[in-house]
Amino acid sequence: MAPSFLKELRRRSKSSFRTDRSTESSEASTVSSVPVAKSSSTLSNGTFGGTTPPTVTNSPSAASSLQNLMMAKAPPPVPPSRPAVSTSPNKRYSVSGMAGLGSPSPQSTLPTSLYAPRVLSIADNTWVYQKVLSLYGTIADPATQALEGNLTISRLDDGFPPTYWPVAESHFKALVYLVPGPNRLRLDFSSPKLANNNTSNPIHSSYLTIHMLPPLCSPPLQLVILLAKDSPGTFDTVPSRLEKEGNGLKTAIRKYRMAAYLWQAFTAEQMFRNKLGRRVFRLEEEWTTGTSNHRDREMGVMRSEAKVHVVRSDKTMAEIRDLDLAQQNPKAKRSGDLYGIAADAVRDYFKPMPGQKQYVSVLILDSHWDKASQTITGHAALGGQSGDIQLAIFGSQALQSYPSSIEEVVPAFSDCTPTDTNYVANDCNESGSNWEAANIGIGAHMHEVGHLFGCPHQENGVMLRDYVTLNRTFTTREPYSTRTKSKGGLVLRQDECTWHRLDCLRFRAHPCFALPTDPPRPCDDSVQVWPVDAGNVIITAASGVAFIEIFTEGDDVCHFWQEFCDGNGSGQIQKQYMLTEQELRNRLPEDRKKSKLRLSIKSGTGGSHDVENFDLLASKASRVKLPNGQLAFRSSKLGLSQMEGSQPQEVIFDSTIHQTKLMTQVRVYHGFALDGIEFIYEDSTSQLFGKRGGSPSDFLLDTRRGEYVTGFFVRSGFWVDGVAIITSLGRKSPIFGNPDSGSGHTLIPPRGYSIAGVTGSCANWVDGFGILITR
């Protein structure tokens, strides 16, 4: 007869492994029964009721294992021949979706469906820096199957409602709304031509995790709606839209905000395609009721959304609508003043401190289609700089056609409703339908934002007029176009609108596109150009030389350029570069190799220096023979030397010619600009560049320690606003003159050269300044 403790052990062993909704401890639940599949797929970790699993009952040491289990409260060891059983609590996933039981989980190693969406534009676990992300990808192989259907994108945490996107000939494009941190997404494809399409649990699924980090290290692009002081806050719209969505200020804010999100999504994708990272400008945000989806509006969900400032001008509607561009209304009384009015209103609203730049995009809500005169009044499309305000302005004549949420993007860019010119404008005769009007409005405004960020017109892309195809970035099928009279069709990546490569290079260097992972930006963004021996030219920049635009005679846009930064712009770039004429001309076609060259040289942080005539700079005209027989070279000049009565001046330091002569101090004459610089020597002699005027300030050199002048920091624009002296001991004087006007430039000779004097021009004050260098 068996001992009594064995009977007790047998009774306990049976109850220990009956796990049908068992109330045993969590340790016991981890060894619950798992059915063994014949395939090599990972076993499900769902909990089933049942008897002792085969792993235990078939083992000859079951009793001893159970005794150990009771004493140690741990599961029995699993033999090596068995696959490991996942023991994560509360994670029940279906088995292979290919078996018709549901789609595989993100953690599953089971094979996914052949028709699972494949995202081509971004990799899993990528970091991005904007709220709305553009995706594109394929279903199966488009070369062998042209599937039609729908793509559903949902968040695993249900933090944003699912969105639905058409799939055309196995291609899809979509937008994803992101929040800071990890965004875990599920993509489901459905098509009436595929099996199990009507099941409640889709089986053609894939998963994607995107991490979003807001780039709070960069200045934001401010969004402003400008209103006249007596404006009712409405915009042009047709009666059907007025009834459906209204035309008030709240609707305008939603549409303008969504347009800015599309600018971000488009620009970030373009930067990535140009191998410059996923850089993009940021938008200032506020905590408000979410407008990016319909559910947020209905339920009043609060989110951090792009802030739209509403600014009232001191002008009336009549005054604003009278101020148009000449090409919009040749009868306008004060053509072009709208930019100044917008700049004044923005400046009064933001009240920037001196030297604090603001980047502002303005939507003029009081723009109005005047059917009688067939013009858009109160509209101007301009972008540029007004003091410390970088400003882009555009009218609201196409605002009715904009989407106001992510769900409306594809319908907006697919809406073939003809433009009713009884109520709204057919802008430039290129907005004959609603989707084309959305292109012109959103795209042309983005063009002006490009000007705001420093982009000139280009040979192609947004900064030409390619934004008329902006819709192709967000849709896979283009409708009939009244502009081209074409029936449309499938539009792929190669058909899309783009930023020009030179625009992307400018963005990479712009402070608004800085990322949290970037190294600290140098304060000096200037570029200097130095002619040296053998007709060569040295370029120096404290932040590195990024690229050079090469213009030949008659060019109004750049067709040829040379890049110096690495692929994604994340590494160090050269701070000094030797440039030869032959190297430049080798980049030109045969019919332009002998043309006069004009260069625009860009630094790694957005600074620029223009060389109007490279041949002249590299010629003998830049050389000076010193009295001691040495050759010196004139640097490129700061200031335009175009003031009335301007005369060239040049000073060769006596201390350069006579080694025994010692410079002891520098006296600067200045007021609101630089009047002159006097170099004073130990023997009380001096040399004057410019004029004695304004207030003199002295800067003494520590001659006991061998201190001498090694360069200058210059603030200049049309003329020279101020100057600071830089010495061999690393000292730098205060800026004498106007320290806030103009742009800053550091004049320090390149490696292997020293300063021999100063050169430039002077009228009533100094309007041109450079230095002489020698070996």
What's the average model confidence in pLDDT over 487-493? 92
pLDDT band at 198 (very low <50, low <70, confident <90, very high): low
* Res 15: pLDDT: 43
Element (H, E) at 757: strand 754-762
pLDDT confidence band for 201 (50 / 70 / 90): low
Position 24 pLDDT exceeds 90: no
pLDDT value for 109? 52
Q: How far apart are CA 366 and CA 341, in angstroms?
A: 13
Q: 106 pLDDT band (50/70/90 cuts)?
A: low
Residue 96: pLDDT band (50, 70, 90) is: very low
Annotated catalytic residue 563 = no
- Please say if the pLDDT value at position 367 is more than 70: yes
Distance (Å, rounded) from C-alpha 606 to C-alpha 734? 25
Rounded to whole angstroms, the Cα distance separating 135 from 126 reads 13
Poorest-pLDDT segment among 189-198, 515-524, 529-538: 189-198
Q: What is the pLDDT of residue 319?
A: 86
Catalytic one among 269, 319, 448, 549?
448
pLDDT (0 to 100) of residue 302: 95
CA distances from 710 to 10, 714, 715, 732 (A): 94, 13, 17, 10
Q: Mean pLDDT across the stretch 172-201?
A: 87
Confidence of residue 238 (pLDDT cuts 50, 70, 90): very high
What is the predicted pLDDT for the residue at 334?
A: 52
The confidence score (pLDDT) of residue 484 equals 92
What pLDDT does residue 429 have?
85
> Mean pLDDT, to the nearest integer, of 360-387?
91
How is residue 49 written in tokens? 């009721």
At residue 111 the predicted structure's pLDDT band, cuts being 50, 70 and 90, is low
Quickly name the fold that domain 115-212 has.
Immunoglobulin-like (2.60.40)
- Whole-number average pLDDT of the chain: 84
Per-residue confidence band for 29, with pLDDT thresholds at 50, 70 and 90: very low
**At residue 5, what is the residue type?**
F
Cβ atoms of 205 and 116 within 8 Å: the answer is: yes
- Range name among 332-341, 469-478, 692-701, 745-754 with the lowest pLDDT average: 332-341
115-212 and 525-617: same fold? yes
State residue 743's pLDDT score.
83
In this structure, the number of other CB atoms found within 10 A of the CB of residue 381 comes to: 20
pLDDT at 386: 87
Portion of the chain with pLDDT greater than 90, in percent: 59
Taking the domains of the chain in order of start, what are their residue ranges?
4-34+45-72, 115-212, 221-509, 525-617, 626-774
181-200 burial string, b = 16+ CB within 10 Å, else e? eebebbbbbbbeebebeeee
Instruction: Look at residue 112 and tell me whether its pLDDT is greater than 70.
Output: yes
- At 591, phi and psi to the nearest 5? -75, -5
Instruction: State residue 572's pLDDT score.
Output: 65
Domain 626-774 falls in which CATH fold?
Vitelline Membrane Outer Layer Protein I, subunit A (2.100.10)
Residue of higher predicted confidence among 118 and 517 = 118
In a 10 Å sphere around its CB, with 0-12 CB exposed, 13-18 middle and 19+ buried, how is residue 464 labelled?
A: middle
pLDDT on residue 241: 94
- Which CATH code fits 525-617? 2.60.40
Place of tokens 């923005």: 346
- How does residue 305 score in pLDDT terms, banded at 50, 70 and 90? very high
Q: 260: closest CA among 163, 132, 108?
A: 132
Calculate ∠ Cα 354-358-363, nearest 5°: 140
Q: What is the mean pLDDT of residues 232-237?
A: 94
- Token output for 468: 């008329």
Q: Which pLDDT belongs to residue 53?
A: 40
